[in-house]
């Protein structure tokens, strides 16, 4: 139940897939409280456990006056509608880049006591849920940018006073992408075309 330091871009924990939560105990409830307190202190819309250096599949969110958390999320996409807009991340502070996301999402998981729950999100909530779930898979929103956007983002990051020059970036593809989108994303990373864009920082600052 305290504000914790946030791990920044370049920290290996941000590229390490998190493990499912097995024990719904007091330690988990403390983690949820720490995520919530840290997120709100930083005026974020969401924060995932790896951003605090904890490799568990948990994130907190605060979107449109809805405060909550989700443990062991599994995402479903009810349609193929997309949204495009600015997105940022508390682990990449002060920088925002247009990022493409699915417009609607259903996220199923559990609360801190192990009770089943789901989030039906659209717009900003859907963006937040996708952003935070990406964190649990070791994926950053930078990985969703096209080649030009990624080049611009990396230039800005290298100029940031917090950037660790000794920690080279790693590009990953989200396992939550539908196969077609995953291929397009990989093509963009290889400079073969494609583009991507999302709207407020998860791990996002607002």
Q: Return the active site residues.
A: 132
> Within a 10 A sphere around the Cβ of 12, how many other Cβ atoms?
11
Q: Rounded to an integer, what is the distance from CA 27 to the centroid of its chain?
A: 22
First to last CA, the chain: 22
Q: How far apart are CA 139 and CA 191, in angstroms?
A: 19
Q: How far apart are CA 5 and CA 36, in angstroms?
A: 13
């Amino acid at each position: 139940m305290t504000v914790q330091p946030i791990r920044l871009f370049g920290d290996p924990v941000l590229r390490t897939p998190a493990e499912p939560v097995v024990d719904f105990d007091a330690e988990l409830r403390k983690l949820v409280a720490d995520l919530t307190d840290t997120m709100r202190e930083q005026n974020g819309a969401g924060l995932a456990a790896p951003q605090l250096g904890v490799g568990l599949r948990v994130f907190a969110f605060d979107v449109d006056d809805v405060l909550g958390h989700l443990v062991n999320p599994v995402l479903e996409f009810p349609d193929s509608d997309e949204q495009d807009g600015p997105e940022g991340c508390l682990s990449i502070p002060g920088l925002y880049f247009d990022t493409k996301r699915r417009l609607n999402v259903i996220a199923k998981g559990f609360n801190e006591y192990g009770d089943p729950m789901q989030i039906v999100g659209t717009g900003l909530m859907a963006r937040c849920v996708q952003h935070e779930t990406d964190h649990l898979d070791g994926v950053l929103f930078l990985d969703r940018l096209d080649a030009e956007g990624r080049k611009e983002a990396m230039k800005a990051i290298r100029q940031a006073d917090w950037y660790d020059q000794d920690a080279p970036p790693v590009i990953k593809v989200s396992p939550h992408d539908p196969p077609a989108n995953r291929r397009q994303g990989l093509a963009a990373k290889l400079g073969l075309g494609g583009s991507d864009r999302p709207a407020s920082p998860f791990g996002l600052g607002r």
